[in-house]
Amino acid sequence: MNATGLKEICQRAMDIGMGIDLTDCPYGETTGPCSFVKRPTKYYFFLAGFVRLQRLTHVLEIGTNCGGSIMSIYNGLCEDDITVSRLATVDIIRKNDEGFKKYPFIKRIQGDSLDGGVIEKAVNFFDKDIDLLYIDSLHEYGHTKKNIDIYSGKLKPRYVVLDDIRQCDDMKRLWSELEKQFGDNAFDASDVSIRKGAGFGVLRWG
């Protein structure tokens, strides 16, 4: 796989994602200027399309918030894959119980993703190596790197996706190191996923 290959996959994923209905996956509460976003954000379509295109079935998300991203990932599953799929999401806080009622299939784990008990629960939930590790929690260098190291070491994902790679100096530094390490298997998908400001990075891990 070369850089063009990963870029093409990401472009195609966004095209496919834009055709997936995510109307019941609003972002919800934010810490930004708008305190509640009633619609899905653009990168949700990317995530859903990526899952559909690559037929991903085993996904771990770090950073649930209201669940919009993991619900979008669920909506990206191919129909035939739903029963064999495993989706889990971790957050220190628990929000949107009402919205999650429609998604009983998604495993929610409450706690700090770096806590030993939480790591054990998340890892034991999966019956095999995972397809996607999606990290969108505290956007600090050490925190994000530890999450990558721990979960990729234990669950050997095919892909790692990082949100907010342009958001702050810490995330820019981490992404630049990963680009050097992964070369053609790292793609800055910020433009493709219409996340130019905050940034969105895709790594082909496995």
Ligand X SMILES: C[S@@+](CC[C@H](N)C(=O)[O-])C[C@H]1O[C@@H](n2cnc3c(N)ncnc32)[C@H](O)[C@@H]1O
Compare residues 11 and 28 and give the one whose CB is closer to ligand X.
28
Partnered with residue 29 across adjacent β-strands are 36
Q: How far is the CB of 82 from ligand X (least distance, A)?
A: 21
Compare residues 65 and 75 and give the one whose CB is closer to ligand X.
65
Q: Are 104 and 131 a contacting pair, CB within 8 Å?
A: no
Q: How far is the CB of 154 from ligand X (least distance, A)?
A: 16
Compare residues 185 and 195 and give the one whose CB is closer to ligand X.
195
Residues making contact with ligand X (CB under 6 A): 27, 62-65, 68-69, 90-93, 112-114, 136-138
As a residue count, the chain comes to 206
Tell me the HSE value of 115 on the side-chain side, using a 13 A CA sphere: 11
* 116-125 helix and 141-155 helix, angle to the nearest 10 degrees: 40
Q: What are the two backbone dihedrals, phi and then psi, of residue 33, each rounded to the nearest 5 degrees?
A: -60, -30
Q: How far is the CB of 137 from ligand X (least distance, A)?
A: 4
Compare residues 27 and 151 and give the one whose CB is closer to ligand X.
27
Report the C-alpha gap between 129 and 95 in whole angstroms: 28
Q: How far is the CB of 109 from ligand X (least distance, A)?
A: 9
